[in-house]
Amino acid sequence: MTNTSKHSIPFLFILLVLTGTFTGCKKYLDEDNRSNYTQENYFQTSDQAQAAINNLYASLRTITDGTGTYGESPYMMLEFPTGLANTEVGQSQYNNTLRTLSANADNNYFYVWWANSYNAIANANLAIERIPAINMDATLKKRMLGEAAFFRAFYYFHLVRIYGDVPLLLKSVNASSPELYPERAPQASVYDAIVSDLTTAEASGLPTADVSGKLNIGAVKSLLASVYLTMAGYPLQKTENYQKAADKANEVITSGAYRLFTTYADLRNKANKNLGEFIFQNQYQVGINTSGVDQAFLPRSRKITKFSDEVGAVTPAPEFYNSYEAGDLRAKEQQFYFSSYVSVLTGQTVSFGSQYIFKFFDTEAASTAQSDLNWTFIRYPEVLLIYAEASNELGGPTQAAYNAVNLIRTRAQLPNLSGLAQGTFREAIWREKYHELAYENKVWFDMVRTRKVYNPVSGQFDNFTGHAFPTGPVLTDKYLLFAIPSREINNNKKLTQNPGW
């Protein structure tokens, strides 16, 4: 690993990106010349500590930023290996090789996820080390340290699921540190560190909710519930964590801080940012930081908006769209999907001939070509489904588990579930998660955790290994993990490659 790419000089990375990062809700992008600061003289004041924490919030945008030349973005890496996403961008090699299961360790997505995650972790480590010595309000200090711990856990949770064993760096690294070229740590150790950090964040005095988009206690508990559910599944199979997942998800549910929106249109209403069912989001604002997500999901070059390039980077597999139950509101026009739109350029209805993803459509941006809809990392339906799945694993369906799933089904105008055996209810929960959280970076993680894959043609769940995508490619054990980036292995001879890559 090179010094500047991740670990050895994290403070340099902080200084480079602090200009224009968050300093409060709408102050996230205020400029501040920090060119005279060094690592030795920086962490002196409360404002400097806050700027370092705000930089961690800014790091979230790397997940939805562009990666390559042809409409590629890191979050897409988690969609194409599910077999449920197609693309209209033939030149997009990073997306296409994942969609056809023909990628190699040089795929740039693997490096981008690795490098961006470790940059954020390095900055979190530095904040956790330096903020305690600052003379500042003790309550605010504790909260900041909780935020830094959360972000370190957030990025490690992605890394350990994407790559398996990964270097576990819990302190800052410089050119003389023995950790400059670290070995991979066992997944169990990484998960232990994640739980420890989230426990710290949970006890740090975070607010119940925060409409500005800053971290709240519900986000911490929700992520912890997801971590416990993952630990209960593959590869760790620590089934005692089902109880912990159910308990933590139930704390979020019974807090009363979150609710399902009445309509799916509310998901696209900018007035609802960080409210309702949005537990943890990436923040955008027109004129400061705009999002490319909406543009990426638009039907390619149909000229229905004022965007100069309607990308068509991610489109739904028709077999998956057709797998929604009859009458499911989510599959109806301009709910989660759409097949036509009235062009803002011509006023004429443009029919697409197939379905496209409407879930992230920004109506205002259609006329302005500037989108600032937030990207959502955790949504309340996920917590409801975590609770239902985890509690079902403890001894079968309970009324509370049914209630959690049926809240989601009622909004979708589907009949309630009842009277199911444990195994049948398990698959009903999985199926609900596929259909409710489609294209929100949840499916691949669930495939790996359960070793089961939804077959949209049969409506059943296949074993991961041997499952055939509707387009033909077949999953192998190789895709239980992604490749350690080639350039990282070339820089650090202590790193080993994942099987099959």
Tokens of 145: 């340290």
170 shares a domain with 234: no
For position 40, what pLDDT does the model report?
A: 66
DSSP-derived letter for residue 345 is: T
Q: Confirm whether 464 is domain-assigned.
A: no
Q: Are residues 499 and 362 in the same domain?
A: no
| Burial of residue 186 (number of CB atoms within 10 Å: 0-12, 13-18, 19+) | middle
For residue 292, is pLDDT > 70? yes
Query: Does the predicted model carry a pTM greater than 0.85?
Result: yes
Q: Which among 102, 116, 176, 110 is positioned nearest to 151, based on CA atoms?
A: 116
* Statement to judge: residues 6 and 135 lie in one domain: yes
Does residue 184 sit in the same domain as residue 257? no
Same domain, 153 and 38: yes
Pull the structure tokens for residue 38. Answer: 């060094």
On whether both 440 and 496 belong to a single domain, the answer is no
User: What pLDDT is recorded for position 70?
Assistant: 78
Q: Is 272 found in the same domain as 146?
A: no
The two structure tokens encoding residue 41: 């003289």
Whether residue 237 sits in one domain with residue 160: no
Are 173 and 180 spatial neighbours (Cβ–Cβ below 8 Å)? Answer: yes
Q: Does 469 fall in a domain?
A: no
CATH of residue 415: 1.25.40.900
Of 413, 433, 450, which residue constitutes the final position of a domain?
450
Whether residue 407 contacts residue 399, with contact meaning beta carbons closer than 8 Å, is answered with: no
Q: Which pLDDT score is estimated for 174?
A: 85
pLDDT of residue 39: 63
Q: What is the pLDDT of residues 212-254, one digit of tens each?
A: 999 999 999 999 999 999 999 999 999 999 999 999 999 999 9
Task: Read off the pLDDT band of 26 (50, 70, 90).
Answer: very low
Domain annotation covers residue 456: no
Q: Name residues whose C-beta falls within 8 Å of residue 372's C-beta, 6 or more positions apart in sequence.
A: 270, 284, 285, 286, 289, 290, 291, 362, 365
Boundary (domain end) residue, out of 373, 399, 434: 373
Residue 177: predicted pLDDT:
84
Question: Mean pLDDT across the stretch 100-106?
Answer: 97
pLDDT at 4 over 70: no
Are residues 26 and 173 both part of a single domain? yes
> Peptide bond preceding 207: is omega within 30 degrees of 0, i.e. cis?
no
Please tell me the total count of domains within the chain. 3
**Residues 277 and 288 grouped into a single domain:** no
Mean pLDDT across the chain: 92
Whether 470 is covered by a domain: the verdict is: no
- What is the mean pLDDT of the segment spanning 358-367? 97
Residue 35's pLDDT is 52
Give me the pLDDT at residue 175, please: 82
Could you give the residue ranges of the DSSP H alpha helices within 328-375?
A: 363-368
- How distant is the alpha carbon of residue 82 from its chain centre? 15
pLDDT band at 41 (very low <50, low <70, confident <90, very high): confident
Q: Write out the DSSP string of 350-401.
A: EEEEEEEE-TT--HHHHHHS-B-PPEEEEEHHHHHHHHHHHHHHTTS--HHH
Alpha helices in 451-493 (DSSP H): 486-491
CATH number, domain at 498?
1.25.40.890
Task: Name residues whose C-beta falls within 8 Å of residue 237's C-beta, 6 or more positions apart in sequence.
Answer: none
Q: For residue 429, tell me if it sits in a domain.
A: yes
Cα end-to-end span (Å), the chain: 19
Confidence bin at 37 (pLDDT 50/70/90):
low
Sign of CA dihedral 340, 343, 347, 348: negative
Q: Is residue 341 part of a domain?
A: yes
pLDDT at residue 283 greater than cutoff 50: yes
Q: Compute the distance between CA of residue 122 and CA of residue 357 in angstroms, rounded to an integer.
A: 36
Tell me, yes or no, whether 109 lies in a domain.
Answer: yes
Q: Check pLDDT > 90 for residue 489.
A: yes
pLDDT grade for 186, boundaries at 50, 70 and 90: very high
pLDDT at residue 36 in the model:
58
| Host domain of residue 436 | 213-283+375-450
123 plus 259 within the same structural domain: no
| pLDDT surpasses 50 at 2 | no
Last residue of a domain, one of 351, 373, 395: 373
Judgement on whether residues 195 and 312 belong to the same structural domain of the protein: no
